[in-house]
Structure 1
Amino acid sequence: MNNIMIKGARIHNLKGFDISIPKNKITVATGVSGSGKSSLMFDIIFEEGRKQYLQSLGIFPGLEDDKKFDSITGVSPTISVRQSLVRQSNPRSTVGSRTRLLSQLAMLYHSEGTLICPNCGTPLGKNLQCSSCDYKGHSLDVSYFSYNSPNGMCKKCFGKGSYSKVNMNKLVSNKSITVRQVFRNAGTTSGIERVLDRNLHKYMDLPYYKVPDEIKNEIKNGHYTSNSGANNKSYCLSRILEARKKKGEFIGDLYRPISCSACNGYRIGEEARSVLINGKHFGELGKMTLEQTRDFLVQTLQEIEFTQLGKTLAQDIINKLSSLIDSRLGHLTMYREMSTLSGGEIQRIFLNAHLESNMDSLIYVLDEPTTGLHELEKEELLKSIKRLKDLGNTVIIVEHDRKIIQVAEHIVDIGPKAGIAGGEVIYEGDYAGLLQCDKSLTGQYLSDTQKIMKRNLKPNLQNDKTTSWISIKHAKTNNLKDVSVSFPLGVLVGIAGVSGSGKSSLISDTLVPMLKDYFRNYSKNILDCDESDEDSALVETIAETILGAESISGFAEVSQAPIGRNINSSPVTFIKIWDKIRNLFASQEKSIELGLTAGHFSFNSDGACPDCSGSGRKSVFPGSNIQMYTTCNTCKGKRYNPEALQVTYKGKNISEILDMQISEAVSLFEDNKPIVHTLTIMKDIGMGYIKLGQPTSTLSGGEAQRLKLAKEIGKKRKGNILYVMDEPTTGLSMYDTAQLIKLLNKLIENGNSVLIIEHNIDVLKSCDWIVELGPDGGVNGGTVIAKGSPKDLEDNPKSITGKYLKERL
């Protein structure tokens, strides 16, 4: 079968079309954000390929309530990484564990490592006898070099390299804050507060700073009580914040990651740290960049005589590291947690693993692999994708990037707009034909028939005495090399540079923490809350000073940190309008007649379907330990009981409101400003297709970030705010990027400042000022290589971004 043939594709907003996608080619699916690309490529092709493969192995993969299509033929086993699925919270999942490099490194240390005498520091010979002090060592098993093994892990941090600590300075903002208020600031529920009242009744309404030290410790860290033979930690701040963190709730810096003082973040125990190869222990290599590790092993092979097994292991590790470095991942470390990587970095790791396997006849579905990549770095990604196809595989890419669309052998454009205004195949064919397609918004932007708005850039900023600046002096955070840099205010500032060049170190890890310190509203005299001890923050902000912060009235950070990830977390709850909608329903005549309160319009409370407890689904156990879900037969997935569904607002019941797209909700609530304000902002930044009740766990990283952006912009502020954003164009089409630039321009016209970490050339071209870091990633980055207007960078031979700005007319 040379084609994947689908008839009647109709999941989500797809309009029941037929389509044929060629196999053994690179196909790009494009279109505006929310047009239906992912529904077609992931929810139909990927899911059906996976399902048919599992069924062929005798595995029952799941139950379906709705038919997504009439028929599908030509699918092979499918492999995919979606951006919404790559955000793991497990700190044990690292680059080294995902690539199996740490397992190979453990074998190398077991085979070739030299044990150092713990008494006098003398290297022990093959007989493990110390020649200086007669200490007798013992050979360590491979498990001692694994932070996941009880033998190998550091006993203080249990192999995590860090642990979290309650930030009391954040929770206790002044001397009058009571213990009860401290717990409420930490997000304590009313039920837990009742338990705390029983346990700490004497202290709950006392100011925190007057509480005895032993009680303060119990408030922060709790105590263990034996119950039926099990040790249970009492309710305390650390337990409450840890539970919120596990649920995926955003807790900011209330619960700070602290580097482990016992192992210094190396994760492994003292015994394994006593085994060296060429003067370095296992944990040191884990914290080195991949590029540094490769260079170290190459040098070691030249200086030290290994056994044949050791040579083979070392060379295999070097080859794998070289492949990752070629994919522009050399700035990462083996200990870097997978949850902290961008979607693009994860997919490049994934591509490397499959290129090594040399498998063919598979269908790969990739979700925006250019995420987080500089224009320069896309060339290596394209080479990897072409190699994957040349092995005999089909590669389908959901993408908005111009370069990826240009190299596609087949293009499918879904649209014309998002949500209910999308779901149709606008174009199928090659790149030249797409440029000629009048119906395609993508084609119009690629052919320059439609143009992204050109902002009136503020000229000659360097010499404009009316412009205020914020300056950082002598920053040395992470890989920054004593950087002193200034950012103009009242304009749009772009931070550019290749992956790992120091952009996040400069902005997220230096500027933002220093601004937080400047604007923190607490008394410096509350010494009781001083958390200084032998522990140090995991990311230490090292800079001499910040100047000019007094020129702004506040700041708002829109980072890539994940938002709530449980099934009950949705856009409408995140932007804080859910209570307003429920109160609106409770005020309707029918509600008053039936005696319904706002609680009856919550599926977590009185309004829940009695059969599924408001989840809208039921668990099914077909056998073994397999758990699946099917739609609840009682409420048909609506989550509510019949009484709550009787009440309507403008003809819509509460379940229909949650199932409504934001663009529809803007029209429905147009006369209710407290509700419609933030929804309108979401629509303006290309999120009109998102449903109000859509679980946030299904949102991509870019969608989650734009949701945070809408929430921040929607807050009532005095003005003169510095907005700090980290790649908000992630997941945006060219059409939606144009809308985002209009919104950023509006923020600046309203007297604010915007500082944006970005790779998108259209956005950088719209910046009044750009600071570029580089010249490369990791240890080869960390310096400012260019700064000025887009035109200044175009004319600067040191700028890597300048040549791409010049190409985009």
Structure 2
Amino acid sequence: MTTTTTAPGRSTDEPARPDVIRVVGARVNNLRDVDVEIPKRRLTVFTGVSGSGKSSLVFDTVAAESQRLINETYSAFLQGFMPTLARPDVDVLEGLTTAIIVDQKRMGADPRSTVGTATDANAMLRILFSRLGRPHIGSAQAFSFNVASVSGAGAVTSTKGGQTVKERKTFSITGGMCPRCEGRGAVNDIDLTQLYDAEKSLAEGALTVPGYSMDGWYGRIFAGAGFDMDLPVGKFSKAKLTDLLHGEARKIKVEGINLTFEGVIPRLRKSVLSKDVDALQPHVRAFVERAVRFSTCPECDGTRLTAAARSSTIGGVSIADACAMQISDLATWVAGLDEPSVAPLLASLRGTLESFGEIGLGYLSLDRAAGTLSGGEAQRTKMVRHLGSALTDVTYVFDEPTTGLHPHDIQRMNALLLRLRDKGNTVLVVEHKPETIVVADHVVDLGPGAGTGGGRVCFEGDVDGLRTSGTVTGRHLEDRARLKESVRTARGGLEIRGASEHNLRDVDVDLPLGVLVVVTGVAGSGKSSLVHGSLRGREGVVVVDQTPVRGSRRSNPATYTGVLEPIRKAFAKANGVKPALFSANSEGACPSCNGAGVVYTDLAMMAGVATTCELCEGRRFSDDVLAYTFGGRDISEVLAMPVAEAAAFFSTGEARLPAAQAVLGHLVDVGLGYVGLGQPLTTLSGGECQRLKLATHLGERGGVVVLDEPTTGLHLADVEQLLALLDRLVDAGKSLVVIEHHQAVMAHADWVVDLGPGAGHDGGRVVFEGTPAELVRTRSTLTGQHLAAYVGA
């Protein structure tokens, strides 16, 4: 596939080469007319400091254009159901093949989405049990928690021999969905006192459920349904209150318009409780957490399946038992089955389950909710689909596949990447870990800096050439941290007793206070279960993890950190106007796009498009607001600055603003100097979100801060800056507990807690606790052996 746009002064007439993907003049985001040739059927690693343009080149240019061109081969009707992909800003893209993106985005957050359903392992198990399970209860869908049992009967008119015949027909579908929880494995109890204020009438806003405003259609619907709008809800008759809360959907006519009335609770279950709680808007999520209590379904005991589906077994094992097994154990059980009638199915299922083990996910179970997987686990779960694929000459695109992996597991990941390459595929990897960079056939190093200081190709070639190239990555490729000569002395400890969440085995451990504690171990050994399960929610403990920062596409680092407030006030004071004018969500918003900067156009059956607002040209503010300046810049120019530039802008001269400079300094300290002050939060990676949250806590004194893999997304050169930041936090009086695999952080710790020895039920124990020097000296664990090799001991 080829896409070309001629640019003045640039030659695009070179003949296409079948052995490379040729990029000419890429200008997506911060890329500066990047020209690069990527060899096909090779493993190419893209590296560079955070924000240098790696993802812009790989994901937003190469992969995005490949997917866009494939989508264009479908009908306009089908395109309406596909994600909208704009054409990248690039002059020439030649030699593209089908791109499969394996990223770290959270998998389907639907409660019915599990590891098994995401990888087709569940589908194969259902067929297996429908063939071999005893007693036989039906087809494969009888074992599916996504299919409900349905039956019905009715008269059917047909013509036979020229005569009209009426016959009574019946039908039934046997599904496996638990009727009580509808296949979710959990039920919810609603606190009625949180739904309404008994002392108020409906007109006075008695309903406290988000979205139930009586000023709009809801007020008309309730009045049309026969409710007294001025009578306090507490004085409703029992029948009226039951109708208000539990009424079934029914048609009513309001002012000549046909509408539907439905009780508050049924509508709440459909519109809110059917979704993943973490995916809800903040105010709706707060209501749900306050008003709803979730518990395991008593009818199916959390298995999501009917009693019939659970009763059918193979060798005493039901499908619910199989899905609850650790995948490594399930693979052993399947390997022991010998039935010629389903031999091809068993071979395919064995291959899928073995892939989980090869990729370091053997500790999961098939019934694990997909929404609970970490970014790294989600990415590796997606990989399972592709390891056994017969497709060749495909471009696989990976986003830091070593995220969340122990050094021991990185070797297996490298082998899998090379296996995909050896099948004749092009493998593109965005990565910072030197262990993966060194196995590449080809390296593209972007930089030299981040944001506006990057966007250029600093080096193209093999790994040996990178080592001698003099680039930032080349200079730091062989960096190795040293063990500390002396460690800090603890001032007390956090007791954890009898920790047994997930695979933990009654763990007792004391985490020292006032020092840097690193909790490590192979993937699935129980690190997160120990730290998050035992420390989250304790008084004085702040957990800074990689979950997405809550907010809409209008939210940005300026609004999240609160730095926009002093900036708005400074603009207002300097120009003698109201601060509200300098908010794109308030009075200063562009009247055409309402402060979004883009205009969204719905094209009915075709994919909608987002175009830059013609009136404000993407600046989000009205022209009269942009006429006001502070320090020679208008508000849109300030929000377009990278954080580091903004910090310098507000530190001196007439624009000096200490309140803003302090917050921006914290963002620079955590390595986010390249991020735009007005950049939407929805564009930040998990590692960037974590560092953004950390920046908001830097000004606080004391307390315990928990960090979950803070090196995620950090370049080799940035890790040293992170270590200095961790030292500053401890020296300021904080106690740090860091879940981490990076050997440089382990070597820099004052105290190490190593869990293992393996993953899943082979882990869950503390196999070492002490100083890094002791861990290296004893070499008693996998972590100790890898750390000793890293520091050269």
Q: Give the corresponding residue for 2:487.
A: 458
Q: Distance in 1 between matches of 2:230 and 2:615?
A: 44
The answer (yes or no) to whether the contact 2:670–2:694 under 8 Å persists in 1 is no
Query: Helix, strand or coil: the match of 1:640?
Result: coil
Q: Deviations over 1:637-681 (max 9, x none)?
A: 233333333323223333333322211221233333333333221
Q: Give the corresponding residue for 1:509.
A: 533
Question: In terms of mean alpha carbon deviation, does 420-429 or 272-281 score higher?
Answer: 272-281
Q: Distance in 2 between matches of 1:92 and 1:742?
A: 43
| 1:641–1:364 distance in 2 versus 1, CA, 3 Å | same
The answer (yes or no) to whether the contact 1:225–1:234 under 8 Å persists in 2 is no
Query: What TM-score do the two structures reach when normalised by structure 1?
Result: 0.80
Query: Is residue 432 of structure 2 the alignment partner of residue 400 of structure 1?
Result: yes
The answer (yes or no) to whether the contact 1:457–1:767 under 8 Å persists in 2 is no
Q: Give the corresponding residue for 2:10.
A: none
Q: Give the corresponding residue for 1:39.
A: 56
| 1:293–1:45 distance in 2 versus 1, CA, 3 Å | same
- Select which of 65, 69, 78 maps to 2:99: 78
Q: Distance in 2 between matches of 1:146 and 1:601?
A: 54
Shift of 1:275: 2.1
Q: Distance in 1 between matches of 2:295 and 2:280?
A: 20
The answer (yes or no) to whether the contact 1:453–1:738 under 8 Å persists in 2 is no
Q: Distance in 2 between matches of 1:353 and 1:481?
A: 32
Tell me which amino acid in the other structure corresponds to 1:562: P
Query: What TM-score do the two structures reach when normalised by structure 2?
Result: 0.81
| 1:312–1:429 distance in 2 versus 1, CA, 3 Å | closer
The answer (yes or no) to whether the contact 1:34–1:689 under 8 Å persists in 2 is yes
The answer (yes or no) to whether the contact 1:63–1:630 under 8 Å persists in 2 is no
**How do 1:161-172 and structure 2 match up within 5 A?**
161-163=185-187
Q: Deviations over 1:753-799 (max 9, x none)?
A: 10000011111111111111011111111011111111111122431
Query: Helix, strand or coil: the match of 1:21?
Result: strand
Q: Give the corresponding residue for 1:324.
A: 356
Query: Helix, strand or coil: the match of 2:262?
Result: strand
Q: Distance in 2 between matches of 1:202 and 1:662?
A: 55
Query: Helix, strand or coil: the match of 1:261?
Result: coil
Query: Is residue 53 of structure 2 the alignment partner of residue 53 of structure 1?
Result: no
Query: Helix, strand or coil: the match of 1:787?
Result: strand
Q: Distance in 2 between matches of 1:65 and 1:635?
A: 20
Tell me which amino acid in the other structure corresponds to 1:68: D
Tell me which amino acid in the other structure corresponds to 1:398: V
- Select which of 609, 618, 623 maps to 1:642: 623
Q: Distance in 1 between matches of 2:527 and 2:378?
A: 19
Q: Deviations over 1:496-518 (max 9, x none)?
A: 111110101111112324x2xxx
Tell me which amino acid in the other structure corresponds to 1:495: V
Tell me which amino acid in the other structure corresponds to 2:487: K
- Select which of 546, 566, 590 maps to 1:560: 546
| 1:293–1:244 distance in 2 versus 1, CA, 3 Å | closer
Q: Give the corresponding residue for 1:28.
A: 45
Q: Give the corresponding residue for 1:107.
A: 127
The answer (yes or no) to whether the contact 1:558–1:708 under 8 Å persists in 2 is yes
**How do 1:386-397 and structure 2 match up within 5 A?**
386-397=418-429
- Select which of 423, 448, 463 maps to 2:455: 423
Shift of 1:426: 1.3
Q: Give the corresponding residue for 2:12.
A: none
Q: Distance in 2 between matches of 1:67 and 1:727?
A: 32
Shift of 1:165: 6.5
Question: In terms of mean alpha carbon deviation, does 140-149 or 579-588 score higher?
Answer: 579-588
Query: Helix, strand or coil: the match of 1:407?
Result: coil
Shift of 1:58: 6.2
- Select which of 458, 472, 487 maps to 2:496: 472
- Select which of 445, 451, 454 maps to 1:413: 445
| 1:752–1:376 distance in 2 versus 1, CA, 3 Å | same
- Select which of 488, 497, 501 maps to 2:512: 488
- Select which of 252, 256, 264 maps to 1:233: 264
Q: Give the corresponding residue for 1:651.
A: 632
Q: Deviations over 1:467-492 (max 9, x none)?
A: 31112122211111121111111110
- Percent identity of paired positions between Structure 1 and Structure 2: 35
Q: Give the corresponding residue for 1:698.
A: 683
Q: Give the corresponding residue for 1:313.
A: 345
Q: Distance in 1 between matches of 2:601 and 2:569?
A: 35
Query: Is residue 575 of structure 2 the alignment partner of residue 577 of structure 1?
Result: no
Q: Distance in 2 between matches of 1:568 and 1:192?
A: 27
Query: Helix, strand or coil: the match of 2:142?
Result: helix
Shift of 1:444: 1.4
Q: Give the corresponding residue for 2:109.
A: 89
Q: Give the corresponding residue for 1:711.
A: 696
Q: Identify unmatched segments of 5+ residues in structure 1.
A: 116-125, 127-138, 172-177, 205-210, 520-553
| 1:29–1:632 distance in 2 versus 1, CA, 3 Å | same
Q: Distance in 2 between matches of 1:26 and 1:766?
A: 32
Q: Identify unmatched segments of 5+ residues in structure 2.
A: 1-17, 150-175, 195-199, 220-226, 253-258
| 1:435–1:247 distance in 2 versus 1, CA, 3 Å | same
Shift of 1:164: 5.9
Tell me which amino acid in the other structure corresponds to 2:302: G
Query: Helix, strand or coil: the match of 2:388?
Result: helix
| 1:471–1:92 distance in 2 versus 1, CA, 3 Å | same
| 1:29–1:279 distance in 2 versus 1, CA, 3 Å | same
| 1:355–1:660 distance in 2 versus 1, CA, 3 Å | same
**How do 1:541-620 and structure 2 match up within 5 A?**
554-564=540-550, 566-589=552-575, 592=577, 596-598=578-580, 600-620=581-601
Q: Deviations over 1:273-301 (max 9, x none)?
A: 222222232223222221122223334x2
Q: Give the corresponding residue for 1:677.
A: 662
Q: Give the corresponding residue for 1:352.
A: 384
| 1:192–1:566 distance in 2 versus 1, CA, 3 Å | farther
Query: Helix, strand or coil: the match of 2:706?
Result: strand
Q: Distance in 2 between matches of 1:488 and 1:243?
A: 36
Query: Is residue 717 of structure 2 the alignment partner of residue 688 of structure 1?
Result: no
| 1:168–1:297 distance in 2 versus 1, CA, 3 Å | farther
| 1:474–1:201 distance in 2 versus 1, CA, 3 Å | farther
Q: Give the corresponding residue for 1:805.
A: 787
Query: Is residue 181 of structure 2 the alignment partner of residue 157 of structure 1?
Result: yes
The answer (yes or no) to whether the contact 1:3–1:23 under 8 Å persists in 2 is yes
Query: Helix, strand or coil: the match of 2:614?
Result: coil
Tell me which amino acid in the other structure corresponds to 2:647: V
The answer (yes or no) to whether the contact 2:443–2:462 under 8 Å persists in 1 is yes
Q: Give the corresponding residue for 1:372.
A: 404
Question: In terms of mean alpha carbon deviation, does 424-433 or 339-348 score higher?
Answer: 339-348
| 1:406–1:272 distance in 2 versus 1, CA, 3 Å | same
The answer (yes or no) to whether the contact 1:565–1:695 under 8 Å persists in 2 is no
Q: Deviations over 1:414-447 (max 9, x none)?
A: 1111111111111111212212222x11111124
Q: Give the corresponding residue for 2:171.
A: none
